[in-house]
Structure 1
């Protein structure tokens, strides 16, 4: 009977993981494909255009980290309240998360456009690249506000077990975006060839479309999120959200700013180095999509178990996901290494101009994948599900700002190492991060109920 019970639990876990993980992984892959499409379509306008999309979009990426921190706090609390069946508080949390994000992002969006030239001079001295990047940021000005609303809707739906609807809406939107890219970047179907500016305008139009589709869907289905405006404020819920969001947002922004500094380092190594780095970014994100799906599924399942105070189930779930993640990560790293030549060809990095840099660097990218993804699972899938945002903030500061960034800068500017060895120096961050995070995971401090009235009960 015990064996049958374990089998039943395993089947249930696999079913819930597939239901949540596959849609999130597919959606993440589609977003990465879109980012690759932007870069590949723009690359026909030259090296400067390719680099400009990379540096301009990185500022949006840092701002999106604010949304990611809010979305994380939103998702953590909703998963636990949903486990308790408290839909009213789920709505209150989502409403507050959307409002707080818009208040933060309006001044950020304005500042990015107004000070575009000054901030991009930090990344590259190439004024041609900066001029193209300014056009991108101008035409993409509304994107951050629209993306924030979308992220909050998606995190709320996923935390209640619905990952398919965000996927379906995203798939249609990405199709629209790629079509608009084809029209506006290269001037097809009678549209002007706008180049970099066309990529930004296509993204803006697609995000407006995505928000409208979400609103129509919520109203048509009489979804629980439809009634956000009717919920009264709940200061106790808002305080619990802020308690999670402040370290979460700080952590996300700290990490996003760190990735920007990495780009600044590679940008000052040269425009060719920056172009190769910009091409590798979306490809790595595409590879990470499978693991991102697993980490979201892990976080939601663990969060709901913690909300129900089923602490042993949460521990077993974490252990299973971590083993699976390591195995899949090693298999994918091996597969990428075997087919690295095809990958470089697909990314148009096999030319005489790029190959001396890209050929050795792709080896580092391949074998660094499983290391990065192990950290992704422990941090986003396990620790954050139990509200360990403050620890993650401290850990990221040490791993990235005390170790990773200084080592990379020393490798690039003091030791003068080649491109691929600077990439290796960047991975020192991941080694430190894995050591700190795995130790924290084994302490099981994250195993606790965060909902109001629970007094943060621990296992």
Structure 2
């Protein structure tokens, strides 16, 4: 009996210790992610006062930037995975070297992507809508957003290195400041004032560009003044092994992110061709959905960092216990979140300006569907990003993303929209069948434990 009591006491202590670590790592990431989602939502809400066309144009244009951002997201994910594992074995030189490799290689790609999106903006907008006003406004938004991808890439790679080393507060500090600046500039530039004419959609894009530049300057200047390890640690002179290791993770991770983002874009194309009203509703729900996921994004980052550091030290039993803790916690939290949001649905519809006679009949049932499935999306996000990818199981994630989106979700949604011509809420529901397929594939993979790998290589 004493042994049993001791075992229970140890388990409780371990759970409490784990909870403290999750809060320390995940809470700042969740707050920053929530602030970014609020910023995206603020863009849409302020632009929505200009009409459905403006709302739809920002929704479409921002989705193209979102797809491009998945390139940096995949590269940052690979960098964060390796930094966490090298940090776990106290190898700062490799952690800095891989961060520099990720930053340089990604910048080369994103310069080209930025130019393509800008110079072909009109044609890109035509893929998702036939509305000439929406096309013109969206093209203008993309032109004012030219530097955003490069600036954001520098930030996400730096932030992935900071988080991989256990520092989640520094990105939150700088992110919070620039988000406040961004929202302030939004009010000023979109509607005009103090001698500046109202810029509308262009003002939203310019506000984001200016604030992102400010964030880059602040982040690098403060880290340099602190003599941070990202500036003071020497890089490896021979980095071929490290580059090979990084590519092995980054290529499938980036392709997987692009496949998933292209799927999101595919859904937007479907809703866009259903009509401007449907596209406007879909564009309004998207940022709110991101806001809901922000807490779980912080949890998945905490999971990835803790797992990565344990795997880098070859502590596989501990890594498995960590993974079980996160799966149980996210499942419970996801159900509670969905229930809470369901009972607050009317207030949420009012907050999102979706209460008009034209928008409410589409938005209300769609939000009901979202709240019923939110636990599933949260659980998938943590299993995929927090567990499988933390152990480098990125090739499987690539196959899974392609199959669930392009063999199931997108074709089924398109068939329902254009052949069966179902109502908006049913099409929105069918879009979420992708999540059911993901869960079936990913949970089975998680149970097989293929992800429990030490990814570090001998570099010195």
Fold match (TM-score > 0.5): yes
Give the Cα separation in 1 of the matches to 2:116 and 2:321. Answer: 46
Give the Cα separation in 1 of the matches to 2:121 and 2:232. Answer: 38
- What corresponds to 1:128 in structure 2? 133
Q: 2:124 aligned to 84, 107, 119, which one?
A: 119
Q: C-alpha displacement at 1:387, in angstroms?
A: 0.2
Q: C-alpha displacement at 1:233, in angstroms?
A: 4.8
Q: Which residues in structure 2 correspond to 1:363-382 (within 5 Å)?
A: 363-382=368-387
Q: 1:152 aligned to 157, 163, 176, which one?
A: 157
8 A Cα contact 2:96 2:235, kept in partner: no
Give the Cα separation in 1 of the matches to 2:197 and 2:358. Answer: 30
Q: C-alpha displacement at 1:453, in angstroms?
A: 4.0
Q: C-alpha displacement at 1:189, in angstroms?
A: 3.0
8 A Cα contact 2:97 2:235, kept in partner: no
Cα distance change on mapping 1:228 and 1:252 into 2, 3 Å: farther
Give the Cα separation in 2 of the matches to 1:359 and 1:26. Answer: 27
Q: 2:245 aligned to 236, 240, 243, which one?
A: 240
Q: Does 1:357 align with 2:365?
A: no
Q: 2:320 aligned to 310, 315, 318, which one?
A: 315
Give the Cα separation in 2 of the matches to 1:434 and 1:334. Answer: 20
Cα distance change on mapping 1:313 and 1:108 into 2, 3 Å: same
Q: Which runs of 5+ in 1 are unaligned?
A: 455-459
- What corresponds to 1:44 in structure 2? 49
- What corresponds to 1:457 in structure 2? none
Q: C-alpha displacement at 1:12, in angstroms?
A: 2.2
Deviates more, 1:350-359 or 1:412-421: 350-359
Q: C-alpha displacement at 1:104, in angstroms?
A: 0.6
Q: 2:299 aligned to 286, 289, 294, which one?
A: 294
Q: Does 1:105 align with 2:110?
A: yes
Cα distance change on mapping 1:164 and 1:359 into 2, 3 Å: same
Partner SS state of residue 45, structure 1: coil
Q: 1:225 aligned to 225, 230, 253, which one?
A: 230
Q: C-alpha displacement at 1:44, in angstroms?
A: 1.0
Structure-1-length-normalised TM-score = 0.97
Q: Which residues in structure 2 correspond to 1:254-403 (within 5 Å)?
A: 254-403=259-408
Q: C-alpha displacement at 1:5, in angstroms?
A: 3.5
- What corresponds to 2:3 in structure 1? none
Q: 2:38 aligned to 14, 33, 40, which one?
A: 33
Q: Does 1:436 align with 2:436?
A: no
Give the Cα separation in 1 of the matches to 2:105 and 2:412. Answer: 36
Q: C-alpha displacement at 1:190, in angstroms?
A: 2.8
Partner SS state of residue 27, structure 1: helix
- What corresponds to 2:16 in structure 1? 11
- What corresponds to 2:69 in structure 1? 64
Structure-2-length-normalised TM-score = 0.97
8 A Cα contact 1:65 1:249, kept in partner: yes
Q: C-alpha displacement at 1:227, in angstroms?
A: 3.7
Q: 2:168 aligned to 163, 166, 175, which one?
A: 163
- What corresponds to 1:191 in structure 2? 196
8 A Cα contact 1:116 1:134, kept in partner: yes
8 A Cα contact 2:121 2:139, kept in partner: yes
Q: 1:178 aligned to 171, 176, 183, which one?
A: 183
Give the Cα separation in 2 of the matches to 1:431 and 1:226. Answer: 44
Give the Cα separation in 2 of the matches to 1:284 and 1:409. Answer: 21
Partner SS state of residue 185, structure 1: helix
Deviates more, 1:6-15 or 1:168-177: 6-15
Q: How many residues align?
A: 454
Partner SS state of residue 95, structure 2: helix
CA-atom RMSD, angstroms? 1.2
Q: C-alpha displacement at 1:232, in angstroms?
A: 3.0
Give the Cα separation in 1 of the matches to 2:233 and 2:106. Answer: 15
Q: C-alpha displacement at 1:7, in angstroms?
A: 3.5
Give the Cα separation in 2 of the matches to 1:355 and 1:232. Answer: 60
